[in-house]
Structure 1
Amino acid sequence: MTRTIDFYFDFISPFSYLAQLKLPEIARAAGSTVEYWPIDIPEAKIAAGNYGPSNREVLPKIKVMKADLERWAERYGVPLTFPASFACADWNCAVLFAREHGKAEAFVTDAYRRIWGQGIDPGDRNELAACVKAAGLDAEALIAFVESPTGQNEYRKARSQAIQRGVYGAPLMFVDDQVFWGNDRLDFLAEYLNKSK
């Protein structure tokens, strides 16, 4: 039986970028699949009772976090560039369209490469359209979905279901009754998958 890793993420999350670099290969090695579920981190934090400021507002924390991110990027041999903006809601919503068309992994991988690898501005619709085409999807249809009440309802529903499940941040991965939070928990996730085959 193929097992599923439910991967909850938000494109504003650089640690989700790092997790996405390794998660598909971990899943394949264990004969599992990844299901991609976009969330809104600030919304999930508040729903979980975490009313603290964002990391970007805590200067000592952001300094250490940036150093950590650079260390992880060096370890993985990938570029890391903070994006020109954090306008990621449309990209998160677009994941649901990509899921419906069997292209979630391709879309998410390329979106993260652009947003956190190249540092593009996610608010630029031309960047979104280019990513959609690279993933083998119809850019016009996807953007129409993102702008539609249907698309926005689907995104709201996905966020609400994540909150009901107890998602409070990203990256967060569920397998069976186990929860793994953070890029630095991927080894534990891989061990669990391989132990319980």
Structure 2
Amino acid sequence: MSHPIDFYFDFGSPYSYIAANRLESFESRNGKPVVWRPILAGAIFKLLNNPPEPDVRQRYMVLDAKRTASFHKMPLNWPSRFPINPLAACRAFYWLYEDNPAQAIQLAMALLKAYWVMDHDISDADYILDLADRYGIERDYLLEGMNDQGVKDKLRQATEVAYQRGVFGVPFVFVGDEPFWGQDRIDQIERWAQISGWTY
């Protein structure tokens, strides 16, 4: 039996960047598509009454994210603007995803790289439009989508559904109803998807 694979992520999360790089070729390796679902992790943290990261934890996260990316042979340079508001990036993604998931994922990867490798401000709508233009996405078309009420509603609903499903951090993946938190669970996710789970 094939279970849907839902990938919840936030553009402003270093571990989402790492997970996205590891999941980008998941379908080609396993023949199973991944549904990409960007969310606003900050909104979930508020619902959970989660305080901002204390300095000591954030210092560790900077070290650990760089070390983990290096382990997977991925570039990662901690951005000068952290945290950022990923609202515009999420809206651009959802506008594209309905008609062209591959194009939306391509833009998502470009945005993640722009932020986590090249230190560009992906909270800036103009930057997103300029970047998308390099991938053949018409500027006015994307701007229309980023301001579309249906897209705004879709992002809000995706974040609410994630919260209702028990998402408390990112990245978070569901294989069917089986939850996996963290980029370090990708190997388990892949195996679970291949054999439809195991008894524990």
TM > 0.5 fold call: yes
Q: Is the contact between residue 94 and residue 146 of structure 1 (CA under 8 Å) also seen in structure 2?
A: yes
Counterpart of 2:121 in structure 1 is 121
Aligned with residue 99 of structure 1, among 97, 108, 111:
97
The answer to whether residue 64 in structure 2 is matched with residue 68 in structure 1 is: yes
1:53 match: 51
Query: Per-residue CA shift, 1:118-151, capped at 9, x if unaligned?
Result: 1111233332013322444222211222123333
CA contact (8 A) 2:77 2:118 kept: yes
CA deviation digits over 1:96-128, x for unaligned, max 9?
A: 112113122211111111111211112333320
Q: Deviations over 1:31-84 (max 9, x none)?
A: 11111112111211232x3x23222xx111111111111111211222212334
The residue matched to 2:4 in structure 1 has which SS? Answer: strand
Q: TM-score, normalised by structure 1?
A: 0.88
Q: Which residue of 2 aligns with 1:23?
A: 23
3-state DSSP class of the match of 2:76?
A: coil
Letter in 2 for 1:73: A
Question: Is 1:181 aligned with 2:154?
Answer: no
More helix by share: 1
Deviation at 1:10, TM superposition (A): 1.0
Tell me the secondary structure at the aligned position of residue 46 of structure 1.
helix
| Percent of aligned positions that are identical | 27
* 1:153, distance to aligned residue in structure 2 (A): 2.0
CA distance in 2 between partners of 1:82 and 1:41 (Å): 19
Letter of the structure 1 residue corresponding to residue 57 of structure 2: K
Aligned alpha-carbon RMSD (Å): 2.0
Partners of 2:51 and 2:72 in 1: CA distance: 29
Provide the residue aligned with 1:88 in structure 2.
86
How many pairs align?
A: 193
Partner of 2:11: helix, strand, or coil? coil
